[in-house]
């Protein structure tokens, strides 16, 4: 096939794709009313579904099935159920009064049992006969503290109702902590906080858009389109069944921040075509066709960055990554289908409220920044090694401490008050095969003798010697012995997440396996946190590698260049490294879950800044020298980067400053700071790389590689022909001589 024919076929292919894009754009523009009706129906259905999406607050639910704590939790749920727990302190009560309160609290529907010192001493005896020193873990100086076990789980409605009734009984004397109380507080706190966070995010985004757009009505249009996408995304979460509290509360605001660019791009393209003199439908058709290619290419890196989270073994990543990626897809659908219909409906309002742009010409600013490119490059090269080292030395939170209510909440204040008087109480449960009561009693006594253990409760330990278990009613024995398994409740004086707690859990586990080598499990906050730490630490390296590889390949196949993926990712990777190093330099602990997730979010959401600048540089390079092209690319890119980057930064910091939940606040802080650092480095560091590798950018090296391979094949072909010809000549001569000798 001749080169001319190949070229014609390539042009025909490009023309066919363009024609298909224009046909789709024309159909969208011509069927705007039908599209509006379809979206209204979908939005109503999604809004109805949102309240039926279950929300999970327990991180242990996302552990893989193979870890010990998950197997233990499953075994306990099958056998005894998975009870919620709480701790109650009563203020200014005597032993007798505390006993009366305990009776009333234990009678509340949903309460399984309450552990207190009345099982050790006779609280009705005269004071001189009571050894107060032996019960300081449960009563001292007029304060009584009790450990509560509920019949259902921490997030059960029945447990939540029981807590409300117990608070009514305790009145002003009561202080409440524990996972059940924390879960209830978390759900109520999040409902209030997210309303405020979403309101503030919308207000700040509206103000940013007012400054960066050319009509007072454009922000209303953008927020309407993104609001529709958010409702569709949240409603379709019903197909996931249950989502994490993180997904349910963070995805909406992140979707709003990450996807706003798509609607801005489409409207600006429409305005540009309209100002060129095109009729409304024609301008909209051309704008949709232009946006179809640009938005799809831009969003693909974001989607890939989010989808990578779905491969995490700690499956909250699947939950969050799928919902984020789905959110970007719905944003694309609403921008490409619903927004054109709204533009046609609201075009008069957009024109009526038009105003001059408030953004300055960034050419002088770009020139000044470009002059400093080598200073910035040198600073980045010097800073990168220590920052890379520092980001690997952070201290982390892994377990349910990451979702605990922060300072300023009632749960936090109650916890500080109780800990100040009685110290900490960390509950764990040992699940072992039911066998000899003697063996179980010996294990109970060994655990109780450990210095950090406050108390241990087992049926064998409580059962008086010589009294057969069969003499006790099922309602009593069923709490601790059931279906061939024994449950031993134990309380330690450690935090649920600390080196001391981990050491205690390891020692208790060793004791259990000495008596019960097989089918024995230790469950609770501490064992689960240990397994979360092991699983999520492994996830980080794999997810980080996969996200980088995924984005690299997307950019590679989009631009068919090896240099472009490398150059666009360098500033973002440096920004991620700096962002992750800051907590270590500030002496702060980081929620490791957010640390894993934010690297994917920051890469996927901000690499578009680099792609935009690089694309503008390559376009400008066709007519300008490399220095002029770099300045022109920055001048053209900075308004879009500032708009997108400032939105993501502000949304992140709104999450950080408003939320009292550590996991959400820390995630917001990492996202906001990361977006700001990415914005700064793309503007200041990327131009240096563009100029340095200019020959690779202006000459597509993949095309060059293909041409080289083609030329090499052609040369080899020529050599083979010559070789065959050289070999055939002697054979022909010899055959001719033989024929001539024949008579």
Mean pLDDT computed over every residue of the chain: 84
| pLDDT value, residue 608 | 84
CB atoms within 10 A of CB 685: 20
Can you list the alpha helix ranges (DSSP code H) found in 560-591? 563-586
Mean pLDDT of 425-447: 89
Residue for token pair 């563009």: 690
pLDDT tens-digit profile of 506-555? 999 999 999 999 889 999 888 988 888 888 888 878 888 888 888 888 88
The Cα–Cα gap between 412 and 636 comes to 49
Check residues 23 and 731 and name the one with the higher pLDDT. 23
Residue 174: pLDDT over 90: yes
Residue 260: pLDDT over 90: no
Which of 389, 308, 383 is closest to 596 using CA atoms? 308
Q: What is the DSSP letter of 61?
A: G
Helix axes 95-106, 157-170, angle to 10 degrees: 150
**Contact at 8 Å (CB) between 398 and 666?**
no
The Cα–Cα gap between 509 and 515 comes to 10
| pLDDT value, residue 1 | 40
Check residues 236 and 10 and name the one with the higher pLDDT. 236
| pLDDT value, residue 404 | 62
Check residues 600 and 432 and name the one with the higher pLDDT. 432
- Strand, coil or helix: 10: helix
Which of 220, 230, 260, 221 is closest to 647 using CA atoms? 260
Transcribe 221-268 into DSSP letters.
HHHHHHHHHHHHHHHHGGGGSEEEHHHHHHHHHHHHHHHHHHHHHHHH
| pLDDT value, residue 544 | 83
């Amino acid at each position: 096939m001749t080169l001319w024919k190949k070229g014609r076929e390539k042009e025909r292919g490009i023309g066919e794709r363009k024609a298909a894009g224009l046909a789709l754009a024309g159909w969208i523009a011509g069927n705007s009313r039908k599209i509006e009706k379809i979206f209204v129906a979908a939005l109503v259905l999604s809004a109805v579904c949102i309240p039926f999406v279950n929300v999970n607050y327990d991180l242990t639910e996302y552990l893989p099935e193979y870890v010990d704590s998950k197997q233990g939790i499953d075994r306990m749920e099958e056998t005894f159920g998975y009870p919620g727990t709480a701790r109650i302190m009563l203020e200014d009560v005597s032993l007798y009064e505390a006993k009366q309160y305990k009776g009333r609290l234990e009678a509340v529907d949903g309460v399984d049992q309450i552990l207190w010192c009345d099982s050790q001493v006779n609280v009705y005896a005269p004071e001189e006969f009571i050894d107060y020193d032996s019960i300081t873990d449960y009563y001292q100086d007029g304060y009584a503290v009790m450990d509560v076990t509920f019949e259902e789980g921490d997030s059960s409605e029945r447990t939540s109702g029981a807590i409300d009734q117990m608070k009514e009984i305790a009145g002003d004397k009561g202080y409440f902590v524990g996972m059940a109380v924390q879960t209830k507080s978390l759900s109520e706190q999040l409902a209030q906080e997210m309303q405020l966070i979403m309101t503030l995010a919308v207000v700040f985004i509206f103000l940013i858009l007012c400054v960066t757009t050319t009509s007072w009505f454009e922000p209303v249009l953008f927020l309407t389109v993104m609001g529709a996408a958010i409702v569709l995304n949240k409603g379709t979460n019903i197909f996931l069944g249950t989502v994490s509290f993180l997904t349910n509360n963070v995805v909406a605001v992140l979707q709003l921040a990450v996807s706003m660019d798509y609607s801005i791009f489409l409207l600006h393209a429409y305005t540009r075509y309209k100002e060129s003199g095109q009729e409304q439908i024609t301008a909209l058709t051309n704008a949709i066709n232009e946006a179809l290619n640009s938005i799809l290419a831009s969003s693909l890196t974001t989607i890939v960055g989010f989808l990578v989270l779905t491969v995490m073994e700690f499956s909250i990543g699947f939950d969050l990554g799928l919902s984020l990626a789905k959110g970007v897809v719905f944003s694309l659908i609403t921008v490409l289908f619903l927004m054109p219909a709204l533009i046609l409906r609201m075009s008069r309002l957009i024109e009526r409220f038009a105003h001059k742009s408030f953004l300055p010409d960034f050419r002088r600013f770009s020139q000044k920044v470009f002059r400093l490119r080598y200073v910035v490059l040198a600073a980045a090269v010097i800073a990168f090694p220590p920052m890379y080292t520092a980001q690997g030395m952070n201290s982390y939170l892994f377990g349910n401490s990451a979702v605990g209510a922060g300072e300023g909440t009632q749960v936090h204040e109650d916890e500080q008050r109780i800990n100040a008087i009685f110290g900490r109480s960390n509950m764990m449960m040992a699940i072992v095969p039911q066998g000899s009561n003697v063996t179980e009693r010996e294990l109970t006594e060994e655990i109780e003798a450990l210095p950090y253990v406050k108390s241990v409760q087992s049926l064998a330990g409580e059962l008086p010697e010589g009294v057969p278990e069969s003499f006790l009613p099922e309602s009593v024995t069923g709490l601790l012995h059931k279906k061939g398994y024994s449950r031993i409740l134990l309380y330690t004086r450690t935090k649920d997440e600390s080196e001391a707690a981990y050491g205690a859990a390891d020692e208790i586990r060793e004791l259990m396996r000495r008596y019960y080598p097989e089918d024995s499990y230790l469950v609770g906050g501490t064992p689960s946190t240990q397994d979360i730490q092991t699983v999520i630490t492994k996830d980080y390296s794999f997810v980080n590698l996969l996200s980088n590889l995924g984005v690299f390949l997307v950019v590679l196949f989009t631009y068919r260049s090896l240099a472009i993926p490398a150059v666009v990712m360098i500033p973002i990777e440096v920004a991620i490294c700096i962002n992750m190093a800051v907590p270590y330099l500030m002496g702060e602990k980081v929620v490791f879950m957010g640390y894993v997730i934010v690297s994917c979010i920051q890469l996927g959401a901000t690499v578009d800044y680099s792609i935009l600048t690089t694309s503008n540089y390559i376009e400008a390079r066709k007519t300008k020298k490399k220095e002029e092209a770099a300045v022109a690319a920055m001048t053209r890119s900075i308004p879009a980067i500032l708009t997108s980057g400032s939105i993501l930064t502000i949304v992140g910091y709104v999450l950080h400053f408003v939320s009292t939940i550590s996991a959400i606040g820390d995630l917001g802080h990492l996202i906001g700071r990361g977006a700001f650092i990415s914005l700064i480095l793309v503007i200041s560091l990327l131009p240096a790389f563009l100029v340095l590798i200019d020959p690779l950018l202006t000459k597509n090296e993949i095309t060059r590689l293909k041409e080289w391979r083609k030329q090499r094949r052609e040369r080899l072909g020529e050599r083979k022909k010559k070789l065959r010809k050289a070999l055939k000549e002697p054979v022909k001569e010899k055959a001719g001589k033989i024929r001539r000798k024949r008579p």
